[in-house]
Each structure stands twice: as C-alpha cells, then as structure tokens.
Chain A
Amino acid sequence: MSNIITVTAQDGKSYQYVDNGDPMQGGMKDVYFSPDKSYVVAFFRDKQDFNSKERLNNIVNTFRDRIFNQPGGEYWKDLFCWPNNIVERDGKTGIIVPVYQKKFFFTKGYNPGAAQIVSIAGKEKEGRWFASPQFRSRQFKLHLDESELGDWFKFCLICIKIARAVRRMHAAGLAHSDLSYKNVLIDPITGSAAIIDIDGLVVPGKFPPDVIGTPDFIAPEVMATKHLPKEDPARKLPSIATDRHALAVMIYMYLLYRHPLRGGKIHDTDAQRDEELSMGAKALFIEHPTDTSNRPRLDQVKPTHLPWADVNKIPYTVCGPYLKELFEKAFIDGLHNPSLRPTADEWEQALIKTVDLLQPCQNKNCDQKWFVFDNTTSPCCPFCNTPYRGQLPVLNLYWSRKPGSFTPENHRLMVYHNQYLYPWHVNRNIYPNERLTDQQKKPVGYFVFHNNKWQLVNQTLTSLKDVTEGKDIPINSMVELTDNKQLLLSQEEGGRLVVVQLVNN
C-alpha cells in the first residue's frame, strides 16, 4: 500500500514522497522517493539534537550557497549530491536530496552468466565494485560485465573529479569526514564521480564529526586514538587532514585496485587488533622503498586479485612521475604526519598532468587500454606488457618567464593519433577546471599520424608559430612534428613553447 505524503520545509516549500512501508535503508537514514523520482526525502532514524540540526541548517543554506551560488556554481551540481532542504515529520528530521544521475546505476552489472544467478542492474555503482580486482577478474564467477568497467583513462578522470570536489569542499573550509567508496559514486563508462552523503560535514571548530570514517579510509592517527574519550586532547577526529588521507587511498585504489596499507605484515594474531594496528599506529605503505615488511604475500592472496596484488609487477610508479611523488608524500612522508599529506589541489593538478602522459595501448585486448608513458626509449604497457611499436612524439612544455627565454615546466604531452590539443595546453594561465568557459572547453587543434608523418593540425590557434622554420602556421593548416622542432603555441601572455621529442623504436 503506497501513500503519498506531503511535508513542508521550514521555508514553506512543500515536498512529497511515496511511503510504501519499505524505505531504502542507509546507515542512519530511511530514504523515500518523491513521486516523480527527482529527489528523495531521507529521514534520520535517530532524533537529531540541536547541534545536528544546526549543522544540517548550515549545510542546506550557508555552505550550499558558498559552493553553488557562485560563478561556475552550476559545475558542482554534477559532482555533489547536496541536500537542499530540511523537513520534519513526527519528530523526525529529514533532508531533501536530489536523486543520483542515471549513469551512477548499473545497466548490466554482472556478466551475463552471473546475471542469471543474481542481478545488480539498477543498483548504485558504489566504488567498491571498481576498487577490487576480483570484480574484473574473469576467474571470479560474479565479475562485472566488461561494458561496466571503463578503462584506465576513465579512472584518471574519476580521480580528477573526486580530487576536484574534495578540493572545493576544503576551499570552503569544510571536511567531508567520511570519504569512502560508499560515499562516492563513480561511473567508469563516462569517467564521472559524485560525492554523496554530505550531511555529516565537519566544520573545524564548529561542528565536530559523528563518525570516524569507514574502514579502509580512516586515517592512521584517528584509528590509533579511537579508544580515547572524545574530549581527550590526544584524540584525533576527522578533519581536512584526514580527508586527504582518504582521498589518497581512494586514488591509489582506483588506479591500482589494491589498498596501500593492506599487506602481509602481521602485528597481532587477533584479526581485530591486527586490523587496528595495520590501519593505525603501525600503518606501513605496502610499497615502502626500504621497509619491505608489509609487501603483500603472494602465496596468501586470492588468485582473482592478481596481478594487481603483485607490487613488483605493477608498482605504483606505473602511475607516472607526478602521482609517484604524491603517493610517496601520502603514504611514506605523510602517513603518520598529517601536515605533509598532499592537498586535494595537488592531486588534481598531478592527475591532470598525468592524463597528458597517457598513451593508448596498442594491444586491442588490453583491459586498461591506456598507460602512462614511462619516459624510456622502449615504452611498454605495464598492464599487459605490450611494447609500443613505431614513432612516438612527446611534447615538452616550456613557458616564458620573460620575453625571449623559456623555462621547462616539468609538464609533457604525449601525442597519439586523433588526439586533441586544448587551450590549457596552449596557455599556462588556463587550467582545466570548473572555471573553464565553454569556449575554452573546445579543442584548438589535433594530432594525426598522416602519410607516415606526425602532424599537428591547427583549428583555431591564431598565433601558432613554427619557431624552428621561422614561419607562422595559420588556421586550417598543419605542421609536421619532427625531432627537436620548436613550436610556439601562442604568442599571447602565458603562451607555451613546445619542443618535440621523437621516441623511435
């Protein structure tokens, strides 16, 4: 028996939901759909105290405004599932939350064989499905359909979206406090992510956290002090610094399908205590360069977790130089020293630069389909071990501090057939983020391998110049990429110079 119930929010707006007596149950809330399924009403099962209500009030009003009612605020609607109003009914507090976009629900879910046993079509794509190698292993009966898995490029995009959303929250002075694959939905098909369950936001000094996080993502200092009373000054609770740990873990897991701290080292024979130590006081990076005591023990991992569990086969360095540096900061320097952890902004920048290093794998059957150029003369896909054959152009980016002289930027762009060049490659004052104008989202040129030559076709660059030959490259013409060729992409302020490097093999 379904009833449509109307509730009125404090600001007088009215909302409706369908009560069929069997709401979806989250950790703390009962969730009901609106009749048109455009939003949900989520009631907290427990009575919310004054402080919690005050927090919710701030979340739906002040904090929401701070992020959404700004220039470019539209952008965040896709990245956050942000509650927008509060209702009360029978003494219970509820929040109005937009429904998740369709892409965050499985269309196929399991492979056809498994789908006959049990189906997950229509279920939310919570991150755990994609952070564990077994669901992509054909040896595992209940593995996901290939069409759901995306590729490595898409996972880089997912990580960018998550880092960007977290960066935005932190910039507003907010900590999520419970980042986990449950609270971040992802879609590997389109490379999207959305942060959900925002009602637990922590505001330092104002609203303390209710939760310490979700296992796998709890920062070591929080784990190590969770036995202390909340009032104890030594007790560490979720904060922006612990969000940074959770973010690093999430990025590591989405790119390498294993947990950075879950290795073979044994701290205690009791599973619970061992867990607390290995995620807390004694946490140790499984790929620590000198302390190898926590390397995964391959004789003890499930075959469905290979090759990902084998850190010698697929070390974190396959993620390229920018992420390597941040993983080291997060899991070596900053693991027990929160102030050294990379910020969400650093992750976003490093991931964006990493995307520029991606090369399509030449093996049509490669599951990852993309890999990071390893800066050698014999590049090879680290996932399927297929070597790259043929000429490979690499563009090294330079910028001009003062007219006439150019300094390297530690930023490279790998070229592949049919790749686009974007404004943010051309001008260092343009960043690919939420502030891009529609015009800046359009490609300005593209690279093709044409008649056995690598060419850059100019679509809209008004001042592209072949510096080596000393001639302008007008729109709708092309320039060949040869070794050591220098191209000035733009003569405007912030315009970059690229030096072409041709890797032959």
Chain B
Amino acid sequence: MRRLPVYLLLDTSGSMRGERIEAVKNGLQVLVSKLRQDPFALESVWISIITFDREVKQLLPLTALESLQLPEITTPESGPTNMGAALELLCTKLDNEVIKGNDTQKGDWRPLLFLMTDGKPSDLAAFREVVPKIKNKNLAALVACAAGAEAQDSFLKELTDTVVHLDTADSSTLMSFFKWVSASIGTGNKSVGTTEEIQLPPPPAEVHVII
C-alpha cells in the first residue's frame, strides 16, 4: 500500500504569536480529525510537521494518520523567519523519509507540501538557493499560503504557482484554509475528469488563489 506523504511547513515566528498560532493549532486539530473521518486518507496519508522561526524543527516526523499525536507548537517572542532553512530541512526529510520506488518495492505517492507563513523569508539567500532543489523533488502539489496583510506573495510565487492568499489571518479564515487542505488531500479519491486531472478542490470563498 503506497503512502501519501503530506508535509506541513508552518511559520512559528514571533508575528504568529497569539491568535494566529492558536488558529493554526486549531486548524491542525480540525485537519487531523477531518482526515480521520476519511477512509481514503486513513489508508494512505502520513503527515509530518516542520516549523520555522529562528529555529527550524521537525516537530512531527512522517507518521501514519491513525497513530499521530499533534505536537506542542510554541512561538518565540520575536526573531527571523527562516523559511529557507525550513525548506532545506524538508529536502533532507524528503530524501530520508519518502520511500522511492525500485524494482522490488512500490514507492510512496509523490508528496504534498503545504507551507504557511504570515511574513516573508528572512534568510532570502538560503531561500532562493533551495527553491530549485524543491522544484526538483517531484512533489505532487506545492501550496503556499500567505496569511494576513503582511504576508508577501511574491517570494512564495518563486517557489510555486499555487499561492493562496488569506486577506486576514484570523481564526475563521485560517480554519477554512485547513479545511481546504484536508479536502485537497482527499482529492485522490474523487472522480477524475475526462479533460484533465482535477488537482485541488475549489478554495473557500475568502481565499484568493494566485496563479
């Protein structure tokens, strides 16, 4: 049975403190609960959570949906947003955790990546260096979410064509984003169109997908 690795890269820098990080935690709870109500997801989805602020940490190694426990997420008072370093760590994890197909073993599905930030990469040089590497990782989908007015889409657009912009980063908007993520993960189980493959479900109304 192939696994579907899902990597969540979450901004935990100082600006996320307070309502935003609480909204993210709630969102993760909802995401996991929703996926646990989906038999398709329970057969294949494995989740990993990487957070980035001054430090970059893999809070949850790639874990089967049925057995994972959400880690405690904390934010520092202030400090940089090391998104580049987070993507660098992601590359290592993709290499180590995702099973590649070979002549004797079926590999995992191509991984999904959801990245969420309310700012921009502080380590811009590292960020620009890692972008081509990520693009080479053959991800099935790479969705970047820019939450709130201060979040800058332009950097994220260097990383992926699918940038979701949330005008506000309040709890209900973030929640709708996480619901959308859970629906996106479930698309593998949906009908496939005759024209082209459906990749993602339509985003919730208050979200703008920037192509």
Contact = CB atoms under 8 A, between A and B. Distances in A.
A301 B1 contact: yes
B192 interface: yes
21 contacts: A118-B33, A118-B36, A132-B39, A141-B66, A141-B67, A142-B66, A178-B191, A182-B191, A209-B194, A210-B193, A211-B194, A212-B191, A212-B194, A214-B191, A215-B188, A215-B189, A269-B100, A271-B106, A274-B107, A300-B105, A305-B1
B105 A123 contact: no
A145 to B, nearest CB: 14
Contacts of B193: 210-212
Contacts of B109: 271-272
Is the contact region of chain B dominated by helix, strand, or loop, or is it mixed? loop
B131 interface: no
Contacts of B100: 269
B136 interface: no
Interface in B16-68: 33, 36-37, 39-40, 42-43, 66-67
B157 interface: no
B191 A180 contact: yes
Contacts of B191: 27, 178, 180, 182, 200, 211-214
Nearest to A119: B37
| 3 nearest A-B pairs in the assembled complex, by CB-CB distance | A269-B101, A128-B39, A211-B191
B154 interface: no
B41 to A, nearest CB: 10
B93 interface: no
A23 to B, nearest CB: 11
B202 interface: yes
Interface string A195-228: 0000010000000111111110010000000100
B192 A212 contact: yes
B194 A230 contact: yes
Contact of A117 (B36, B103, B188): B36
Contacts of B37: 118, 120, 123
Nearest to A263: B106
A214 B193 CA distance: 9
A182 B190 contact: yes
Interface string B186-211: 00111111110010011000000000
Contacts of B105: 266, 300
A118 B66 CA distance: 10
Nearest to B109: A271
Contacts of B92: none
Contact of A272 (B33, B39, B110): B110
B36 A134 contact: no
B43 A218 contact: no
Given A214-B189, A268-B101, A274 B39 contact: no
Nearest to A118: B36
B183 A135 contact: no
Interface residues of A, number: 44
A135 B195 CA distance: 34
Contacts of B108: 271
A218 B42 contact: no
B96 interface: no
A134 to B, nearest CB: 7
Interface string B99-127: 01111111111100000000000000000
B189 A269 contact: no
Nearest to B187: A27
A228 to B, nearest CB: 11
Given A128-B189, A269-B100, 9 more contacts: A25-B201, A27-B190, A128-B39, A140-B66, A209-B194, A210-B193, A211-B193, A211-B194, A302-B1
Contacts of B2: 271
B20 to A, nearest CB: 22
B49 to A, nearest CB: 18
Contacts of B66: 140-142
Interface in A228-273: 230, 237, 264, 266, 268-272
Contacts of A53: none
A274 B192 contact: no
A283 to B, nearest CB: 15
Interface in A133-149: 134-135, 140-142
A237 B107 CA distance: 29
B102 A269 contact: yes
B4 to A, nearest CB: 9
A271 B189 contact: no
Contact of A215 (B42, B102, B192, B195): B192
Nearest to B36: A118
A266 B40 contact: no
Nearest to B104: A266
Contact of A128 (B40, B102, B107): B40
Nearest to B35: A118
Contacts of B202: 45
A25 B198 CA distance: 15
A132 B43 contact: yes
Contacts of A118: 33, 36-37
Contacts of B101: 266, 268-271, 274
